């Protein structure tokens, strides 16, 4: 296999977790081998895309044999670092933040929110969630990040505050941010940012629905 750290297209990178999920499902269903057509149909893409994506990692399968499900499940688990727990923090405990705090990431993947933050005068600061996740004031963010050695943050603050809070996170040592704000963040090149824009996704969905009418 090629070096798994080699550069791959962003579109391919976004599909890695889908491939991992499919191979986990196949494994649970006692499927030992799968071909590119089966994988493509399970994800909703074409088989040529599957083969092209896999080609970035060398020979993952054999012509006429397909792909070894257990082998590929373990390969993607290693690629996505799903063999060890990744601790994550959350900033902003509004409606979206609360929903994420109550989502049991660790039961589905090995990611775990271990602490949350909001304004110092927020009524929930100083308390814990039912699952025992502590909620701190934003003034403690640098201290707590250092104590927990967390490198990944979920950002669910209002758009007008997203850049300010992102700067604070980066200054405290955060290297990866999942932002639920549509505002583009201007951060150092060594900080990885992914955006989740629910409004944009819904508008895209509605556009394609209208096209089908």
Instruction: Name the nearest CA neighbour of 192 among 53, 4, 54, 13.
Output: 13
Say if residue 58 carries a ligand binding annotation. no
| Block mean pLDDT (10 aa), the chain, length 213 | 62 89 93 93 92 88 83 90 82 93 69 93 94 95 94 95 96 96 93 89 84 69
pLDDT of residue 107: 54
pLDDT of residue 197: 86
Give how far Cα 127 sits from Cα of 49, 61, 141, Å.
47, 50, 15
Question: Any binding-site annotation on 96?
Answer: yes
Where are the domain boundaries for CATH 1.10.10.10 in the chain? 10-79
Residue 105: the pLDDT is: 66
DSSP 127: -
What secondary structure does DSSP assign to 152-175, as a single string? EEEE-S-HHHHHHHHHHHHHTT--
Specify the pLDDT at position 213: 64
Query: Is 95 one of the annotated binding-site residues?
Result: yes
pLDDT score, position 61:
75
What is the model's pLDDT at position 66?
A: 87
Give the pLDDT confidence score for residue 26 in this predicted structure.
94
Residue 5: the pLDDT is 47
pLDDT at 109 (0 to 100): 63
Tell whether 97 is in a known binding site: yes
CATH code at 10-79:
1.10.10.10
Architecture of domain 86-200 in this structure: 3-Layer(aba) Sandwich (3.40)
């Amino acid at each position: 296999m090629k070096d798994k750290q080699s550069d791959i297209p962003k579109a391919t990178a976004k599909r890695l977790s889908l491939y991992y999920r499919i191979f986990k499902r196949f494994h649970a269903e006692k499927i030992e081998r799968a071909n590119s057509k089966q994988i493509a149909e399970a994800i909703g893409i074409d088989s040529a895309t599957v083969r092209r994506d896999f080609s970035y990692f060398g020979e993952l399968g054999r012509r006429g044999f397909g792909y070894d499900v257990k082998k590929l499940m373990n390969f993607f688990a290693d690629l996505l670092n799903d063999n060890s727990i990744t601790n994550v923090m959350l900033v902003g405990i509004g409606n979206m933040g609360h929903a994420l705090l109550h989502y049991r990431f660790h039961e589905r993947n090995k990611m775990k929110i271990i602490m949350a933050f909001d304004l110092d005068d927020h009524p929930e600061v100083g308390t814990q969630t039912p699952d025992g996740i502590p909620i701190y004031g934003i003034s403690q963010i640098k201290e707590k990040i250092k104590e927990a050695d967390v490198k990944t943050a979920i950002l669910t603050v209002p758009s007008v505050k997203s850049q300010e809070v992102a700067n604070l996170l980066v200054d405290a040592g955060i290297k990866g941010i999942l932002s639920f704000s549509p505002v583009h963040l201007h951060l150092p090149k060594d900080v990885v940012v992914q955006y989740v824009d629910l409004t944009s996704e819904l508008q895209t969905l509605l556009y394609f629905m209208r096209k089908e009418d």
